[in-house]
Amino acid sequence: MNDTHARVLMIDNYDSFTYNLVQIMRALGASVEVKRNDEITPTQARAGSYTHLVISPGPGCPDEAGVSKSMIESLAGELPILGVCLGHQAMAEVFGGKVGRARCLMHGKASRITHDSSGIFAGVASPMLVGRYHSLVAFEATLPKELIVTAETIPDERTGETREIMGLRHATLNVQGVQFHPESVLTPTGPMLLANFLGVDRAAAERVVLIDGPTDALTPTGEGSVA
């Protein structure tokens, strides 16, 4: 296992799959501390000597996600930040975009997406399959020029699939978001995306075993599952 020296702060938006993300990052060698979105402030986070920040998926909309938006506002430019699903939507709103109802509601469905091979997508094949669990999306027409679309769904008339934004990154800050779930079994290359975010060898990601269903909270020193 690689020692990444990464100390990740995970903001948990009361989501059942938060610990699936935690498990993968621990399997990749990171130390991960989980705080619910009402358990920590940006000031406390800044004092915590974290190296990375992840904003988890969760129910509701970004304005209902506790400190998620204020964490991004306060720590962008200080830490690499990754927003997942609700976290991605929070990122879009923080930088001036708008979020609303998607044309197609997705819950536990796989979609094919294309990406630009930048940031967390570096070295990952495109198109790729991803698992989607959401009813809200960021609207491209509302995005400021600082937010770059990095991934999108491939429209398919046979299935009714429409084009939706699946990834964003900030043009100058190390802040990225994905609308899909990289921890899902429906996203086979998800661990590679997280390895890119943490800056570790993707070979470690190939040994990660994805879990079908929510993972219970792990002990602070617990490791993820590696084949």
Query: So which residues are the catalytic ones?
Result: 85, 181, 183
**What's the chain's length in residues?**
227
Nearest to 56 by CA among 30, 28, 101, 91: 91
From CA 42, how far away is CA 35, in angstroms rounded?
A: 12
The structure tokens listed for 55 are 């904003």
Helix count and strand count (H, E) for the chain: 6, 9
From CA 125, how far away is CA 16, in angstroms rounded?
A: 28
**Angle (CA) 69 195 198, round 5°:** 55
Instruction: Give every CB contact of residue 110 below 8 A, 6+ residues apart in sequence.
Output: 129, 130, 131, 132, 186
From CA 175, how far away is CA 77, in angstroms rounded?
A: 8
Give the β-pairing of 175-178 and 165-170: antiparallel
Q: What is the DSSP string of 92-109?
A: HHHTT--EEEEEEEEEEE
